[in-house]
Each structure stands twice: as C-alpha cells, then as structure tokens.
Amino acid sequence: SASMDSGDELRQKYMEFPYVSGPHRDLMVELLSSVETRLGSSLQPCTLPPHVRHFGNPAGTAYACIQLRHGLPSSQIDFILGGWIHSKLPSGGALNITSLSGYLNSSTDAPNFRLELIQSIPTSLILVLDLTPRKDLILHPHHLKTYYEDTLLDRYRQRLHMLPEVSPYISPSLYVRAAVSPTAILVSIDVGAGETTNIEEIIRDHVGPVAKELLQFWIESCACTERRVGEPETAYLAERDRIIKNKTIELDLGSSFPRLFGQDVADRVLTVLKEHYNK
Amino acid sequence: SASMDSGDELRQKYMEFPYVSGPHRDLMVELLSSVETRLGSSLQPCTLPPHVRHFGNPAGTAYACIQLRHGLPSSQIDFILGGWIHSKLPSGGALNITSLSGYLNSSTDAPNFRLELIQSIPTSLILVLDLTPRKDLILHPHHLKTYYEDTLLDRYRQRLHMLPEVSPYISPSLYVRAAVSPTAILVSIDVGAGETTNIEEIIRDHVGPVAKELLQFWIESCACTERRVGEPETAYLAERDRIIKNKTIELDLGSSFPRLFGQDVADRVLTVLKEHYNK
C-alpha cells in the first residue's frame, strides 16, 4: 500500500508524473530539477508522513503525490511544495493537475512562485503561472515597480496571449482573483478537436519556455537575492502570509480534496498539510 | 470663450454630453441624476474654477467638461467626479470618454465607485465599471466577503460576459490592474462592421441596466450606509486613499491630458484637480 513506500520510492513516484503526457511530464521534471539544483542545498528533506506524500481514494480512482520541503533557517525560503493529482472522471476521461509553489519567509518581501497545470479534457488546459505578491501593491507602489514593472514581467503573459489558442481564464474564486499579481498568467488554452496543433505541442513550445524563465527569475531574483526587511514589515508579511497559506488550504485544497479523495482521506491529508504550512 | 461661462452654463454643458450617441448620453444623464437625487443634499457645489470645468486645446479639436463636488463634512463622501472628453482623431474619427467616480472619505471603509466609457471607433467600446476596494482584500478577507462575495457582485460581470460581443479588456497599466476589485467589469465590447447589433443598443440594453444597478448599490450600501471605522483604520484608509487619488491623476489623467490638450492646458487643469483631490 502507498503508506508503506520508502522515502526513495516516494521521491521517485513524485518525479514520475505517471498520468500526464510526455511534454507535460518533461516540463514538470525540468522545473523540479531546477529547484533541486539551485535551491536543494537550502532545503530540508521532506518530512511529510508517507500517507500524505502519496495517497488515493478508497475506490482506487484518484491518486496524488505531494512533496513539501521547508527552507533551512539560514535561507529566505519558507517551503517549496510540489505535486500531482490524478482522478478518473465519470465521463471516461481524467482530471490531471500538476503544481509547483514556492513560499518565501518574512525575512524578504519578494513574491511567491505559483505554477499550476490543470487538464480535464485532452483539447484544453488551464494554466496558472504567477509571482504572487506578498504586499498590497496599492499601498506599496515601490513594490509594484520593483518586481512587476521594472522587470517587464508582463512580457511573459503577453507572449502567451499572442497565441490564438489562449484566452483569459477567470477563476470562480474571488479570493484567487484578488490574490494574483497584475502580471499573472491565468489562461485557458483550447485547441479545437480537429485542429493540427495539440496541447502537448503548446506545452513544449510555449508554456514550457515561459514557465522555465519565470521560475529562473523567481529563484535568482526573489528566493536567492537577499532583502533586508525591517521589524514592523516582518510582522506585516508574517500575518499576510499566514492568511494566504490558510486560505489556500481552505479554498483550493479544502474544496477539491473531499470531492476527489473522500472526506476521511482529505481530512487526514489537510490536517497534516495545515500543520506543515504553518511551521 | 469657455472661461467666461457662468455656473449655470457650465452645469448645462456638463450634462449635455454633446459628442456621444443618444443611448450613451441618456445613460450618463440618468446616472448623474441618480447621484443628484440621492446624494445632492450631501454635496457641496462644484468649486472648480471655470477654466477647469470646461476647456479645450488651442487647436479647437479637443474639449472636456469636469465637475467635482465635495461631500459635506457630515457625509461619508470625499467627492464625486464626473465629466466627458472629446477629441478629434487624425484618422477622421473621434475619441469620446465619459466618466463618473465616487470617492468616499476615511470615516468608512466601503469601496469607491468608478465608471468609464471609452470609445474611439463606432464599432467598439471599452467599459470600466467597478466598486474599487479601499483595503487590501488579502489582509482583510472579511472585507472581500462583505462587499464582494455576500453581495453577489460578480453576477453583473457575468451577465455582461454572456454577450458574444464582450471580451475581457486588459489594461496596459499594471497599477490599474492591481487597483480593481475581483468583480471589476473591464471589458471590450466589439460589434463587427457588418453585424446587426450596434454599440448603442448594447449600451441601452445591457451596459445601462448593469451600470444603474451598480451605482444604486454603491449609493445605498456604500455611500449612505454608516460604518464605524476605528482610529488606526482611519489613518490606514486615509493613506491608501491618498495614494490612489494621486496615482489616478498621475497615471490616468497625467498620461492622456498633455497628449489631448497640450502641456500648458494639461498642467493648468491637473494642478487644480490635484489640489481638489487632496482637499
């Protein structure tokens, strides 16, 4: 059973992305490898219990793999979270989600990283890719300038929006809409059933390069560039981060996990994740 | 000349909207009348000098009318700003902007109101319609719930998005994107040249009803519902409001007025507006 897997097996399973297409898997593996190469020495090993690292629903139709690694106290990283979810759909298809998030701690005010690829039909993909702000950008216009304007971050969004298959995706959650940055890539990529382009090619040729560049930027300019944040600001960041992390569990995972894995499994996993998010 | 107009003439010119279509004018007049009827007794007369209430460029190809009325000290209103801009375009067409904004003071944390209709070609219209938040909605989830979730504000956006002519409008300004609420209506309405529907019908049948309902909601539930905001919060609101007002002048008016009216006229008008915004 999943709960008997060893650490190595769990790590392997996590990197396997067994249910998504080749280009989708290649992209995720490349992103996780960048994190490992550049940030690995700043991270603690994953201490999630095995039943949270890999689990499924009682019916055996849904599986997930999660890895959470806290940053070392000397680093600016709170934790890096990655994972995948696979669930068979009653329609015969499957829902596949792969994600990678980077949360920084309150020694810096640099943005967090967030990537999510959500696919429930072969001809369509929802992409969420953002450097999520950790400060109110209205009250802190300098922050908007430093991280979003001077860096020309919007060019990545613009590049994807030039594709005819790409259209804005509007999240049903008002919280999610409020939490993203003004350069957030929240798009739906749709290829018609009879078209010559397919989602795999768009992931390989367009989503991949943008995701890799943005992650690279986040690692170098956000996670690894030291910022000196003063005491009142640390408290502000810590409080805002606390809200963000708990809202993410409550709204994002909390709304989908019970549906996908049943209430018991969801409760067990979410309780542990909540503890680890707030460590 | 414009600077010799009397108060009555200026008020009449302001309500005239001489360069836009019938349904567009009807909508603006109806909105201004709602403000007058419901809030008029809480507002001071417009004290802008005549050369700011109505002005044009030296070449006589661009005109504008602005009215700014501060709230009485007993009210929750900072000021109500309305106006229109008309500018002939080198292409032979014209740019027409009509707008109405309501800013509240720091005795309440309720959102501001913002409406803008921007038209530069007969077959297309940009609509900005929002209850702009005055607090960081991440740090204040209760505020998101009170004003945006529990009120089902998103239904207005959804209603307009059901029209095939409507698509999301993404502002080139990252500040504007960051300042809007998660239920903001920022859309481009495009009717093909050969289509049977025209922009005027869409304003009358769809934009109008939504704008009127939202203004009604803002007047009753934001401007006229008393909120008791404590001292530290008043200071927070005052500071955030100050930034918003100055950014609006700098980015919105400051970037377009010199182009439309020449640097001299723009400087004269913007200096006075800035004073009045910060009164």
In which band, very low, low, confident or very high, does the pLDDT at B5 lie, cut at 50, 70 and 90?
low
Report the sign of the C-alpha dihedral through residues B275, B277, B278, B279, in that order.
Answer: positive
- Quote the minimal CA–CA distance from A20 to chain B in Å: 31
- The distance from CA B33 to its chain's CA centroid, rounded to whole angstroms, is 15
For A1-5, A36-40, B133-137, B266-270, which range has the lowest pLDDT when averaged over its residues? A1-5
Distance from CA of B165 to the nearest CA of A (A): 15
Question: Which of A248, A229, A222, A240 lies closest to A35 in space, CA to CA?
Answer: A222
In the predicted model, is pLDDT for residue B138 greater than 60?
yes
CA dist B35 and B105 (Å) reads 17
CB crowding A130-149: b at 16 or more within 10 Å, else e = bbbbbbbbbbbbebbeebbb
Rounded to the nearest integer, the mean pLDDT of chain B is: 93
Residue B3 has pLDDT above 70, yes or no: no
Confidence band of B144 (pLDDT split at 50, 70, 90): very high
Q: How far is CA A269 from the centre of its chain?
A: 17
Task: Write the residue in A141, A174, A240 that is nearest to B154 by C-beta.
Answer: A174
* Residue B2 clears pLDDT 70, i.e. is over it: no
Q: Are the CB atoms for A32 and A82 separated by under 8 Å? A: yes
Q: For A101-131, how does the pLDDT look when each residue is reduced to its tens digit (9 = 90+)?
A: 999 999 999 999 999 999 999 999 999 999 9
**pLDDT tens digit string along B33-46?**
999 999 999 999 99
Question: pLDDT value at position A186?
Answer: 97
pLDDT of the residue at A2? 46
User: pLDDT of B170-218, one tens digit each?
Assistant: 999 999 999 999 999 999 999 987 767 899 999 999 999 999 999 999 9
Higher pLDDT, A251 or B88: B88
The ipTM of this complex is: 0.92
For residue A3, is pLDDT > 90? no
| Residue A251 predicted with pLDDT over 90 | no
Per-residue pLDDT, B258: 94
B274 or A197, higher pLDDT: B274
User: When comparing pLDDT for A138 and B92, which is higher?
Assistant: A138
CA of A257, closest CA in chain B: separation in Å? 22
Q: Is the pLDDT of residue A4 over 70?
A: no
B174–A141 C-beta distance less than 8 A: no
- A251 contact partners, CB below 8 Å, separation of at least 6: A173, A175, A176
Q: How far apart are CA A278 and CA A105, in angstroms?
A: 11
Q: What is the pLDDT of residue A11?
A: 84
Q: At what angle do helices A7-16 and A22-39 cross, to 10 degrees?
A: 130
Candidates B177, B237, B246, partner chain A, best to mutate (most A CBs within 10 A): B177
CB B237 within 8 A of CB B134: yes
Q: In terms of Cα–Cα distance, which of B213, B248, B164 is closest to B34?
A: B213
Q: In what order do the strands lie in the sheet with A166-168?
A: A54-56, A62-70, A77-88, A94-104, A112-121, A124-132, A185-190, A166-168
Beta strands in chain A (DSSP E): 54-56, 62-70, 77-88, 94-104, 112-121, 124-132, 166-168, 185-190
- For residue B1, the model assigns a pLDDT of 42
**CA nearest to A239 within chain B:** B139
Residue type, B269: V
pLDDT of residue B6: 78
Would you say residue A139 has pLDDT above 70? yes
Interface of A with B (CB under 8 A): 136-139, 141, 144, 148-149, 154, 161, 168, 170, 174-175, 177-179, 181-183, 239-240, 243-244, 247
Q: Do residue B174 and residue A168 have CB atoms under 8 angstroms apart?
A: no
Residue B134's pLDDT is 97
Backbone angles phi, psi at A182, to 5 degrees: -70, -10
pLDDT at B278: 87
pLDDT value of position A5 = 63
pLDDT confidence of B279, banded at 50, 70, 90?
Answer: confident
What is the model's pLDDT at position A1?
42
